[in-house]
């Protein structure tokens, strides 16, 4: 689906054209109909011959309502630029064209209206004027359709052209459906028995009955009690469509035009963004007003290190992603200055050093390692995990691997001393063994080749002091299962296993279990070694202590 917005000079017949195409009166207020002047956004829809439903937003053309016009065109996919065949392009035609280009709308159709009032010569002249107007435009104007709301000329043609263009937009913008929910509110009202209802353009994601949503700014939580498309209740609505949401948990006074309905935790709510100017002529103003659909903010501007780029600061925050287009207006005159493409929604470098390009790697490179959800919010789309639950730029991954490799050259690396992402990354590195809370290179632990191993094994049940060996090595050998220790006495596990025949003999002599004294006498050792030896036998499961005796244990 795609949303279509009208544009054009006042009294050029936008509302009449929409009325002729859809059979719906877009001027919702009696004053608008009385004055013949559109004052606010109007909404209509129509199905083409192949069943494609067109969502149309009708905007005011008078210069006094440019802010309202920008609210309507800001999130549209297709522009329907309306030009009176009698008058040709006028001042607001050009300003509306600037707004369309600034919004990042890729495709458009020009409707020449009131063609019933001109002859063939004037039609040709008007067509030429349109070509001059749109020459070099950033928008692809696919065709010019001559129309008359009085005779019906071109009305069906306009519908079919827009339907074909909608299908083209759908094919090229499927990515929106996979992004998080965001709806910009342009109307809110109360319905007795239902409560708060908001309408707006669902510019990304999907919404379903029962969904929990968040209102921005403010962070008020709400639940979607119901939703409608064109007055018909539906269970689900998808991106690039006009929808009405019945929200519970929020009052109508809390939801004004420009509020945003978003999925909790699905967006980066930011007050600072780095942007690329679109059609904004240097020197850039220090303060501007920026629009995202019906949402608008006064923003302070600071230039970045790259010409044509700037940092915008505003309050309250907006849920934004890289690739969003903001329409930029003058604070003083209110005229459209151009547009701004969002490149980074959470810049960390100083403006004098920031050189964003909007790429995923450019965004990620500034932030190091990020949890997956944080990374998705910052880049504005799904990115595959580098390691489970973590994402980083390739340059960051390479730097981390190099640092860990350098650590491993100096011996085992304690996992407890590393960050979560480093522990996971170590597990993916070639020739790295993870065991007993440490990571090491190679298949054999260097501690196994320490001279203390052979010494303790040779000394059997009467090992001497190990105070000459560093505690880290001894601890490592215990964790590897080579040594078993108690009270600073270390026994080789093979020594303990070799005592099984002796233990069997002791149980034959003492069926109720033997004592430490019995063990000491049988082995001919002192109490200094007998007590630690008995405890270590318990530890390994060869024996089990019951009172002051040892009975048969449960081997590990």
> What per-residue confidence (pLDDT) applies to 445?
75
What is the CATH architecture of 3-172?
3-Layer(aba) Sandwich (3.40)
- Look over the chain and give the mean of its residue pLDDT values, rounded to a whole number: 91
Q: What percent of the chain has pLDDT over 90?
A: 75
* Class (C level, CATH) for 177-262: mainly beta
- Residue 280 DSSP one-character state: P
303/173: higher pLDDT: 303
Distance between CA atoms of residues 321 and 319, nearest Å = 7
> What per-residue confidence (pLDDT) applies to 463?
96
* Mean pLDDT score, 102-114: 94
- 452-552 CATH choice from 3.30.70.890, 1.10.287.180, 1.10.10.10, 1.20.58.220: 1.10.10.10
Q: How confident is the model at residue 176 (pLDDT cuts 50, 70, 90)?
A: low
Using alpha carbons, list the distances in angstroms from residue 273 to 343, 354, 524: 7, 11, 79
pLDDT over 90 (residue 284): no
Using alpha carbons, list the distances in angstroms from residue 182 to 173, 203, 442: 15, 6, 50
- CB contact at 8 A, 530 and 524: no
CATH (residue range 268-358): 2.40.30.10
Q: Which two tokens stand for residue 29?
A: 């207020």
| Terminal Cα-to-Cα distance of the chain (whole angstroms) | 65
> Which residues neighbour 71 within 8 Å (Cβ) at sequence distance 6 or greater?
41, 186, 257, 258, 291, 293, 294, 296
> What per-residue confidence (pLDDT) applies to 450?
93
> What per-residue confidence (pLDDT) applies to 372?
94
Q: Can 177-262 and 268-358 be said to share one CATH topology?
A: yes
pLDDT over 70 (residue 246): yes
pLDDT over 80 (residue 226): yes
Distance between CA atoms of residues 206 and 180, nearest Å = 8
pLDDT over 80 (residue 513): yes
* Mean pLDDT score, 283-290: 90
> Which residues neighbour 253 within 8 Å (Cβ) at sequence distance 6 or greater?
none
> What per-residue confidence (pLDDT) applies to 406?
93
Q: What is the pLDDT of residues 342-387, one digit of tens each?
A: 999 999 999 999 999 999 999 999 999 999 999 999 998 889 999 9
Q: Which two tokens stand for residue 134?
A: 């749109």
Domain ranges of the chain: 3-172, 177-262, 268-358, 359-443, 452-552
């Amino acid at each position: 689906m795609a949303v279509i917005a009208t544009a054009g000079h006042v009294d050029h017949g936008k509302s009449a054209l929409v009325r002729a195409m859809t059979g719906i009166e877009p001027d919702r207020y009696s004053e608008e109909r009385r004055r013949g002047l559109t004052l606010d956004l109007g909404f209509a829809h129509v199905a083409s011959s192949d069943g494609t439903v067109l969502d149309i937003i009708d905007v005011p053309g008078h210069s006094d309502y440019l802010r309202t016009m920008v609210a309507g065109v800001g999130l549209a996919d297709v522009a329907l630029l309306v030009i009176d065949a009698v008058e040709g392009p006028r001042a607001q035609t050009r300003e509306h064209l600037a707004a369309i280009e600034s919004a990042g709308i890729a495709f458009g159709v020009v409707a020449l209206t009131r063609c019933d009032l001109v002859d063939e010569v004037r039609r040709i002249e008007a067509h030429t004027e349109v070509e001059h107007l749109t020459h070099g435009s950033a928008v692809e104007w696919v065709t010019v359709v001559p129309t008359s709301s009085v005779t019906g000329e071109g009305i069906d043609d306009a519908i079919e052209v827009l339907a074909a263009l909608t299908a083209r937009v759908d094919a090229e913008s499927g990515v929106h459906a996979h992004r998080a929910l965001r709806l910009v509110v342009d109307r809110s009202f109360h319905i007795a028995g239902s409560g708060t209802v908001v309408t707006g353009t669902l510019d990304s994601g999907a919404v379903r009955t029962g969904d929990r949503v968040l209102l921005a700014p403010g962070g008020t939580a709400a639940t979607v009690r119901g939703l409608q498309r064109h007055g018909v209740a539906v269970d689900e609505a998808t991106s690039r469509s006009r929808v009405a949401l019945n929200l519970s948990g929020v009052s109508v006074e809390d939801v004004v035009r420009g509020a945003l309905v978003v999925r909790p935790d699905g967006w980066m709510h930011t007050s600072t963004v780095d942007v690329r100017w679109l059609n904004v002529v240097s020197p850039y103003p220090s303060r501007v007003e920026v629009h995202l659909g019906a949402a608008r903010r006064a923003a302070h501007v600071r230039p970045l290190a790259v010409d044509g780029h700037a940092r915008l600061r505003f309050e309250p925050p907006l849920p934004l992603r890289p690739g969003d287009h903001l329409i930029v207006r003058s604070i003083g005159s209110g005229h459209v200055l151009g547009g701004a493409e969002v490149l980074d929604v959470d810049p960390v470098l100083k403006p004098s050093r920031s050189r964003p390009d909007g790429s995923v790697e450019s965004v990620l490179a500034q932030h190091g390692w990020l949890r997956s959800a944080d990374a998705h919010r910052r880049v504005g789309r799904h990115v595959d995990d580098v390691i489970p639950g973590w994402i980083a730029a390739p340059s960051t991954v390479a730097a981390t691997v190099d640092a860990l490799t350098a650590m491993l050259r100096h011996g085992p690396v304690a996992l407890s001393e590393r960050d979560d992402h480093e522990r996971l990354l170590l597990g993916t590195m070639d020739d790295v063994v993870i065991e007993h809370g440490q990571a090491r290179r190679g298949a054999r632990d260097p501690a196994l080749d320490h001279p203390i191993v052979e010494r303790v094994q040779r000394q059997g049940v009467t090992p001497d002091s190990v105070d000459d060996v560093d505690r880290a090595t001894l601890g490592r050998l215990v964790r590897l299962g080579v040594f078993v220790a108690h009270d600073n006495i270390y026994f080789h596990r093979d020594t303990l296993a070799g005592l099984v025949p002796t233990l069997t003999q002791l149980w034959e002599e003492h069926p109720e279990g033997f004592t430490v004294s019995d063990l000491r006498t049988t082995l001919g050792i002192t109490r200094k070694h007998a007590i630690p030896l008995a405890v270590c036998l318990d530890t390994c499961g060869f024996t089990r202590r019951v009172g002051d005796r040892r009975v048969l244990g449960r081997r590990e």
